Amino acid sequence: MTKNRRKKHETPVEQFLFRRTDTVGAADANEDRLLKDCFIDTGDLEVLKDLGEPRRFVVGRTGSGKSALLSRLAADSGDHAIVIRAESLAVAHVSNSTILRFLRELGVKLDLFFKLLWRHVFAIEILKRRFPLGEKNKRGIWDRLTDHFKDTKHRQALAYLQHWGGDKFWEETDNRVKDLTTKLETEVSDSCGAEVAAKIGSIKAGHASSSKFTEEERREVTSRAQKVVNELQLRELSLVIDLIDHVLNDSQDYYYIIIDGLDENWVEDDVRYLLIRALLETAKEFARVQRCKAVIALRLDLVDVVFDRCRDAGFQEEKYRSMFHEVRWSDVQLREMLDRRVGELIRRRYTKEGVQHHHVMPNRVDGEQSAFEFLVERTLQRPRDLIHFFNKCIEASDGKPTLSRGAIRDAEDKYSKERIRFLRDEWNIECPEFLEYTQLLKGKSVLTVDELDVGQLDDITSALFVK
C-alpha cells in the first residue's frame, strides 16, 4: 500500500464521527435542508423551464423527486414562479358544501364549475403578478384593468372574471374559491321556485336533508342546476385564456404556475379526482398562452385512478399522456446524489471537500455487490428510498467514523419495516389490502409462482372476506 493510499475503512476526515441525529436529507423536499446545495439536475429541469416544451405534468412514484424538481424550478424562476399548494386552495369548502354534495347526488355534472375554479385561479394569480397593486389601490382595480384593455373580447373576459370574482378579486386564493362556491350555490337557489329555494337554504344551513325533497322537486333542482352550470359559458372561459395571452406580450412577462401536493389528502377522494381532472384540462388549455406554463406534480397511480374514474364519452387519454414527463433515476445519478449529500454533511461540520459515500462505507456488504449496489437493490430506484436507507445506516453507526457491515445490516431491518408501511400508504388507493398480502413475501428475497403458499393465500383472502 502506498503512503498516500487510504487504509481500508478509514475516513479521509480526521476525528470524524457520525452522530445518530445526522442525515443526508429529509423525506419531504420542503424540509430537506440539503436540497439547495445537493440538487442533481438530470435534465428534467430544462424540460420544465422550456415554455414551448409541451411536457408539463411531472409524474412518478412516491419519492421519485417530483417535489424537489418543482421546488428547484420555483427557486430558479424567482418572481416568475407562482406556487400553489393544493391545501391552500380552500377546496375543502367545495367538498364540504352541502349544496354541491346534494347536486352531485342528483347527478348534476359540475365539470364546468371545477374548470371555472381553476381558470379563475390561474387568471387572477397572473393578473395580480402582472399588475401589482398596493393596499391603497385595491378599490379601483376593475376600473384600472378596464382602462388597460380596450378590445371588446378582452373586456368581456374581464366582465366574466368580475362577475365571478367581484370584490374579492385581489384577496387570497382560498377566499376567492369560497366566494365562487357560494355564488354558484346562490345562483342555483335563485333559479328555483320559492318553495324549493327555501328547502335548499335549509340544506345549506344544516337544518334539513335531501330526503325532504319530492321526486318532482329533485327533477326541478337537477334541471335548473345543470342549466346554471352550463351557462358558465365556455366561450367566456376561452376569452379568459386569450386575455392572459395578450397580457403576457413581452419577453420578460412569463410565468410558471407550479402546483404540488395533489397526492395528499387535501379533500375527499371523489371531489379530488374531479378537481384533478379539471386541473389537467385547464393546464392543457392554458398551453395556448405562449409565456405561461402550468407545471403540475402527480403520482403515477393517482393519474391512472383519475383517468379511470372520471372518464367520459370523447375522452382521449393520449392527448394528456403526451404532456407527461416521468421522473426516473439511473444508478449513476443516484450515486452522484448520494455522494453529493454525504460530502455536504461532512463539509458542513469539517469544511472538508471531496468526501464521497465510498469513503465511509465498506467495499462489500454481501457477496460481490458493492455497498452502494446493496443499498440501491433494496430501494425502488427512488432518491427518497436511498436517502431513507442511508439515514438508517447513520443512525446505526452513532459514534463511529464509518458505516460497518453490521450497522448496514441492522439498518436494513429497520428500513424494511418502515418501507413496507410507506408502500402500503402509496398503494392504498389501488390495493387497500396491500399489507395483508405482503405476508406472503416475509423472509423471501425472491418468490416465484411455484413457490407460492396457496394455503396461506387462502387464509389471507378468507380473513379479508370476513373483514
The angle subtended at Cα 316 by Cα 311 and Cα 319, nearest 5°, is 125
Question: Quick one: 387 and 438 in the same domain?
Answer: no
pLDDT tens for 70-125 read 999 999 999 999 998 877 776 777 877 888 888 888 888 888 888 888 888 888 88
Run of H or E including 292: strand 292-299
Question: Quick one: 187 and 318 in the same domain?
Answer: yes
Long-range contacts (CB closer than 8 Å, 24 or more residues apart) made by 458-467: 460/436, 463/436, 464/433, 464/436
pLDDT tens for 184-231 read 888 888 888 888 888 888 877 766 677 778 888 888 888 988 888 887
442: CB partners within 8 A, 6+ apart: none
Question: Quick one: 208 and 322 in the same domain?
Answer: yes
d(CA 177, CA 94): 8
Question: Quick one: 176 and 305 in the same domain?
Answer: yes
303, 326, 349 — which closes off a domain? 326
- pLDDT reported for residue 166: 59
d(CA 58, CA 264): 16
| Residue among 287, 113, 274 nearest 183 (CA) | 113
273, 300, 326 — which closes off a domain? 326
Cell of 214: 319530492
- pLDDT reported for residue 170: 59
Question: Quick one: 281 and 419 in the same domain?
Answer: no
Residue 5, pLDDT above cutoff 50: no
Question: Which range marks the domain in which residue 369 is found?
Answer: 1-40+329-426
Which one-letter amino acid corresponds to residue 355?
Answer: V
The angle subtended at Cα 172 by Cα 166 and Cα 173, nearest 5°, is 80
- pLDDT reported for residue 14: 62
Q: Please give the mean pLDDT across all residues of the chain.
A: 83
- pLDDT reported for residue 415: 92
Question: Quick one: 84 and 133 in the same domain?
Answer: yes
Which one-letter amino acid corresponds to residue 79?
Answer: D
Question: Quick one: 281 and 358 in the same domain?
Answer: no
Residue 300, pLDDT above cutoff 50: yes
d(CA 125, CA 247): 12
The three-class DSSP label of residue 82 is strand
As for how many domains the chain has, the answer is 3
Which one-letter amino acid corresponds to residue 124?
Answer: I
Question: Quick one: 354 and 414 in the same domain?
Answer: yes
Question: Quick one: 244 and 269 in the same domain?
Answer: yes
Question: Quick one: 78 and 90 in the same domain?
Answer: yes
Write phi, then psi, for 60 (nearest 5 degrees). 170, 170
The three-class DSSP label of residue 443 is coil
Question: Quick one: 158 and 119 in the same domain?
Answer: yes
326, 352, 384 — which closes off a domain? 326
Question: Quick one: 152 and 295 in the same domain?
Answer: yes
